[in-house]
Amino acid sequence: MSIRIAPSILSADFARLGDEIAMCVEGGADWIHIDVMDGCFVPNLTYGAKIIETCRRLTTLPLDVHLMVVAPEKYFDSFVQAGANVITIHQETAPHLHRQVARIKELGCAAGVTINPSTPVAMLEDVAADVDMILIMSVNPGFGGQRFIPRTLDRIRQARTMLRDAGNGAVPIEVDGGISRDTIGSCWKAGADTFVAGNAIFGALDPKEEIAALRALCTHQV
């Protein structure tokens, strides 16, 4: 499996966003992760299409947009137009999940689906053959800097088995929350290949070196 490191700009210095993204690019990041929060589904409020447009101007890296919002379908068209490459929606906010996954793909964007820590992985079984990515939340969404929930490792294994059983075993499994040097290797070993890291990267003394270190900890687990 390929390893993808996706720095989350939730932890970036927005007064220096261009420099922060350039640093991620120079450090070998694979994706840029953009957390969109509505202050309703999660207890925080972040940003929308304008920030996606700004990031699109600043980098050619894929923009990995995670919608932590109620009624995510309201944002599909504008976010794809703004430059999103991957749009991930929550099972908990998508009662018409199959239709919403199909709509994202119709717009020419990769469609991911995510679940909170207390939502059974099996809730994604009916769309496992259709998704382009599964995102496993390893913290309760809404804030950066939270502690990794150990039960996540079992959930990654369950998700990988479910995808294989659906004939879709090659799609990425992304993990978001508490990813650091202490947790990334065990997530890789469990079957994840795409890692969102915010504080671990932007809070490091040498963020570029941190990206390389996180990647190396995965390859050493093989």
Exactly one of 30, 132, 176, 193 is catalytic; name it.
176
Exactly one of 30, 35, 38, 132 is catalytic; name it.
35
Residue 75: closest CA among 59, 58, 56, 93: 93
Residue 176 annotated to the active site: yes
Contact call for residues 186 and 180 (beta carbons, < 8 A): no
What is d(CA 6, CA 214) in angstroms, rounded to the nearest whole number? 11
Residue 35 annotated to the active site: yes
What is d(CA 195, CA 179) in angstroms, rounded to the nearest whole number? 7
Structure tokens at 85: 């490459």
Query: Active-site residues: which are they?
Result: 35, 176
